[in-house]
């Protein structure tokens, strides 16, 4: 059976019923995450076998970790402005923009604005990919 997590907005805070906001592990290392949080909107807990949908927020001056994976990502910018690093290239992004991050590409999202930078990120279920020999 499907699940609905109702959206709740309180001032600038975006939340969904039944979803916990988690701080993204911060680091003072170059390329480390700063001022970032994640909410797993759809994933294992909802019984999704093939994908996960996450909502990230990055505070002004913050960034996600400089990362690289064997799986791809789809990102949809909902609020704020930022920069996405894709390999060696940097691109400015804002609400409505869509980003595809292919497997193996170095990537990072950086808040360059003065408000919260929020985006959805969809990834495959890594356990499923391992079970079919993709990872």
The residues annotated with a catalytic role in the active site are 121
Q: Distance between CA atoms of 118 and 121, rounded to whole angstroms?
A: 10
Q: Is 50 helix (H, G, I), strand (E, B) or coil?
A: coil
The tokens of 20 are what? 């916990």
Please say whether the beta carbons of 90 and 107 come within 8 A. Answer: no
Distance CA(101)–CA(71), nearest Å, equals 9
């Amino acid at each position: 059976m499907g699940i609905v997590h109702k959206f709740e907005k309180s001032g600038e805070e975006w939340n969904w019923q039944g979803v916990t906001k988690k701080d993204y592990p911060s680091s003072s290392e170059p390329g480390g995450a700063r001022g970032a949080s994640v909410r797993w909107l759809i994933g294992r807990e909802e019984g999704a076998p093939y994908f996960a949908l996450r909502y990230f927020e990055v505070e002004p001056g913050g960034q996600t970790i400089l990362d690289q994976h064997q799986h791809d990502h789809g990102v949809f910018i909902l609020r704020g402005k930022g920069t996405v690093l894709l390999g060696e290239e940097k691109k400015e992004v804002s609400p409505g923009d869509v980003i595809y991050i292919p497997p193996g590409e170095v990537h990072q999202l950086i808040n360059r604005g003065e408000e919260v930078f929020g985006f959805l990120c969809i990834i495959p279920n890594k356990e499923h990919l391992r079970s079919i020999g993709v990872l």
